[in-house]
Structure 1
Amino acid sequence: MKITQAFTFEAAHRLPNVPATHKCHRMHGHSYRVELQLEGPIDPATGFVIDFFDVEHAFGPLLQQLDHHTLNDIDGLENPTAEHISMWIWDRTKPLLPALSSVKVYETPACWAEYTGE
């Protein structure tokens, strides 16, 4: 069984490793959406793979680090592409949520990166 819980945050960033002429080189912001997918058996007693409140509790502190901040200023996100953000979230969330199977980070409704721990 797979379950997904979504979170949103607002943040600014710039991409320092693109040419100065690239529009993402300048500071700008996004309304990010993060989807954490977890996979595992359904517990026969609870009926859950994992309680969504437990997912929220595990991810909440990271969400606070990201929301309404400049991502470039966060340790490990100096080049905050959607790809790097998804890996950053994975690395900090997987130890707390062993059933985590995927992290998706949407910069816009039509653009996202998905990391599965490769």
Structure 2
Amino acid sequence: MANPIITKKYRFCASHKYVNQAWTEEENREVFGKDYRNHGHNYILEVSITGPIDPGSGWLVDLKQLNVLVKTHVVNVLDHSQIEQDVEWFKDKQPSSENILIWAWNEIFPRLDKGTLHRLRLVETHSIHTDYYGPGE
């Protein structure tokens, strides 16, 4: 029997700007368009965990513990930040949804007590979301 997957949603607001320092301003504007300027999003981060159900609690993960982990190491770090300026990991990376998910995975995965991180989804706008299932084998 396959294990269930539980998903918890977290919300945070953050701003970012896309810029490649090796490019001219014209090249940056051509590639990034209006995203070359500082702008923000009201993000939704979905954290999906899978694993066997604990027979005592009936849960596959303790949501209180998951909340502390995700809020401490991801949400509170990103909330109301200028991502590429305030989070050291992004100093030499674009603050894209793809990179945010890789960073968040690296913050959550090694700290999980129970269950296995199955998927992260970052909703950036009403029409764009990005999924990440980990680095693979």
Q: TM class, shorter-chain normalised? A: over 0.9
Specify the alignment match of 1:6 in structure 2.
9
1:114 aligned partner: 131
Deviations 1:7-58 (A, max 9, x none): 0000110111472241111100000000000000111110101011111011
> Is structure 2 residue 88 aligned with structure 1 residue 75?
yes
Aligned counterparts of 1:86 and 1:77: Cα–Cα separation in 2 = 12
> Where do 4+ consecutive residues of structure 1 move more than 3 Å?
none
Counterpart of 2:84 in structure 1: which amino acid? N
Letter of the 1:26 counterpart: R
Measured after TM superposition, the shift of residue 109 of structure 1 is 2.4
Provide the TM-score with structure 1 as the length reference. 0.93
The structure richer in helix per residue is 2
Q: In the alignment, is residue 95 of structure 1 matched against residue 98 of structure 2?
A: no
> Counterpart of 1:26?
37
**Could you tell me the percent identity over the aligned residues?**
30
Name the count of aligned residue pairs.
118
Partner SS for 1:48? coil
- Aligned-residue CA RMSD in angstroms? 1.3
Alpha-carbon distance between aligned partners in 2 of 1:54 and 1:40, rounded to the nearest angstrom: 15
Aligned match of 1:66 in 59, 78, 83? 78
Range moving further from structure 2, 43-52 or 9-18: 9-18
